[in-house]
Structures are given as structure tokens and as C-alpha cells.
Amino acid sequence: MACLVALVALDGCATPSQADTGHGGCTSPGVSRDQIQLGMVYPNSGNAESLFGSFRAGVDARLGVANAAGGVRGRKVTYSWQDDESTLQMNLAAASSLVNSGVFAMLESTSVATGSAAYLHSQGIPVVGSSLEEPWTVYDNMFSYSNLLAASGSVSTYGDFIASHGGHRAVIVVSRFVPTSVAFAAELTASLKSVGIPVVATVDATSPINYVNLGKQIKDSGADTLVGSVAGPAFGQSVLAAIGAQAGIKVSLSPAGYDARMLNLFKTVIAGAYFVVDFLPFEADQPAHREFLAAMAQYAPETQPANQQAALAGWISGDIMLRGLQASGDCPTRAGLISALRAVHGYTADGLLTQPIDFRADFGKLTRCLSFVQVSADGRHFTPVDPMPQCGRLISR
């Protein structure tokens, strides 16, 4: 981002000084005189790769900008990474390997963080990343700019939006063998019910999809609203199945799939569909969006298109980590980094987020304010839906 947060003014701007390097003799793992070594766990393979694959590129862009400006207190920030293969077992194995190698803290974006969450908490390892599972709202060593899934509760935001666009009866699409998909479906169900929209059916879209059978299930449900709790491609396939069955769906919405590659893949099939994002969409064209895209072009040019949701999540996660490191002093400790990050308030990622974050007061709370975009009639672009963002209320389930 354009600035790092200083310890004395965590919601203001400060630039780390290359001259501020009086930090010899630091003893924390991963911290040397001229470098801080982080670890990263993400799915470079498996069924979650399409959701999180560009996270690493976003981190590369953010660290690239920081290191070009002198790093953090004169130290270059680097990382080693491991592929968790989209499985709980490999997530734990990957995290354990990185901790045993001596990394200072962890960056993580995956659908199986549950695999290593208890272990990383027991080891006191700070973890920063994108939250799609309950542990991010439970363990105080884990930090994310957005919480979309918690052990209990939901937000009315999804239901409010669908009701305002004419939805009355919903069918939810899940991947029944993916715990995150099933858990998020429960949260979506609670959101819909909170505004009087019943979920009349839950259907499975596990690959390979039988379009005829899936379309028939959607049509037979009598729903006029299709809600996805699946990866973007599976949602697009579900919309295609509904169209083929002439199911009469009026409102289609998915929290996953805001990606130009979806437009290229499905084109007019998803015309009119709505997608949810937990930041201001690229179409808002804020200065921070332009800074991100310029950094991606310089430090991660292989990632195309650059405006991917996971890449921006990597950028924001990298920024949060850098702010915490800057606030942790010349000889950072893991406990000190956790404490410094909990003290950050008013965090907006330089205007990218839908609501300011207070990492202490907001710990464990779901994100209430979300942005919505709609696919154009020609299937070629996303259009932001006003007002942006839209904020609901916290509800129980």
C-alpha cells in the first residue's frame, strides 16, 4: 500500500526507514539482521486451486513494493511456501514443515486452514490471510480483513439483497464433500430465512455434474432464486443446468466467482447473475486498485488477468503483515506481532475494504458490509450494484 502504519499512530501513515536498522542480536525464528522469513500455505493443486491460486502473486506484488522501498526497518521480507493440495492433512503437514524450518509468521489462503489452525495456535505462530473457515474467528493468532464464516451466526446482507431484487424461494447449490461449502450453505440459509425467504431445496454440484439431473432438481424445487455455496465454475455450471431445464430462476447469486475468467468461460450463460465480494470491486477504480494493478504488472506479470479476487486477497494480506511487522519494533517477536496487529484499528487497506477493521473489537465477528456486482447482458463485464457497499445486520442461526 502507499504507507505502513507506525506504532505510535496505527491508523495513520509512516514509511519505514532504511536507516532504522539497529537490530542486531534478535533471536526470534526467521529474523536476521537483514531479513524476515515468512511461510506461506495455499493450494497450488487440488479442488481449491482455482479459488486461491493467485494469492501468492498478490503477496509477491505487495512484498515487492515494500522491499523496493527498503523493506521493514531495513529488513527484506521474504517467504517460503508449501502446497496444501486442498486437503486438511496436507495443510497440517505444510504448516508443520514451514514452522520446523524456522519461519517467523505465516501467510495463508485456503479452504482447509482448519487442518493446521489448532497447531499454529499452540505454537504461537501469527497467521494472516483470507478467512473462509471458522478457526479464523476462534484463534487469536489468526488475522483476516474479512470473516465470511463463523461457528455460529450469520449476516442478513445476502438475504436483504436477494429480497430487494425480487427473490422469494431459494435453492442452494453445494459441494457436499467440501466442509466449507456445506458450512457456508448453512450461513446463507440463515441469512435468507432472516428476511422471510425459505430455502426449499439444497442440491449437490459435485464434479462431474450431470446437467440434466441437476437442472431437474432445481426446477422441481419450485425456487425462483439460485444461490451458490460452491466455487465459481460450479456455480456457472449450475446456472447452465437451470437454463437448460427452463427452471424459471429470476435471481442468481454467488459469493464466489467474481473473476474475468468466469466471463470468458460462461459468457451470456451468467448474464444478469450477481456476485458478492468483500472489498470494493475493481470497477470502482480507486487509487488503491490502480496501485495494486501496477504492482502486479511489475512483480507478478505472469498472473493474467491481474484483477483476480485471490490476488487482491494476497495483496491485502501482505499489507496487513507488513503493518504488523513495522509496528513490532526492531526485534520483532511472534507474540509482539500478534499484539501489534490486535492494536490496529480503522484499517481499510487504503480504501479497498467495505468497512474499517478494528482487529481487536472486530475479532470473531462476521463481515456485515459487502459489495455486489452483476454480469452485463452481453456477458462481457461486471457492473457494480449501488449502493456500494451494502450492510446488513448480525443474526443468529
Q: Give a yes or no: residue 334 inside a domain.
A: yes
167 and 265 both lie in a single domain: yes
Total-model pTM: 0.89
193 and 120 both lie in a single domain: no
Which residues are registered as beta bridge partners of 42? 83
The CATH number of residue 161's host domain is: 3.40.50.2300
Q: Give a yes or no: residue 214 inside a domain.
A: yes
243 and 329 both lie in a single domain: no
Mean pLDDT of 236-255: 98
Q: Give the Cα separation of 93 and 80 in Å (integer).
A: 14
pLDDT reported for residue 6: 32
Cell digits of residue 64: 515487492
Q: Give the Cα separation of 30 and 38 in Å (integer).
A: 7
Q: Name, in order, each residue with C-beta under 8 angstroms of 381's C-beta and a sequence gap of 6 or more.
A: 263, 283, 375
Q: Give a yes or no: residue 185 inside a domain.
A: yes
As a whole-number percent, the residues of the chain with pLDDT over 70 amount to 94
The residue segments making up the domain with residue 314 are 4-148+285-342
Above 90 in pLDDT, residue 11?
no
Q: For residue 134, what is the DSSP state?
A: G
332 and 318 both lie in a single domain: yes
Above 80 in pLDDT, residue 210?
yes
168 and 222 both lie in a single domain: yes
Mean pLDDT of 229-258: 96
Cα–Cα nearest to 11, from 317, 371, 360, 278: 360
H-state helical runs in the chain: 49-52, 55-68, 88-101, 114-122, 157-164, 179-194, 211-221, 232-244, 260-266, 287-299, 309-327, 334-342
How does pLDDT run across 298-356, given as a tens digit for each residue? 999 999 999 999 999 999 999 999 999 999 999 999 999 999 999 999 999 999 999 99
How does pLDDT run across 257-297, given as a tens digit for each residue? 999 999 999 999 999 999 999 999 999 999 999 999 999 99
Mean pLDDT of 102-131: 97
Above 70 in pLDDT, residue 3?
no
Mean pLDDT of 90-104: 98
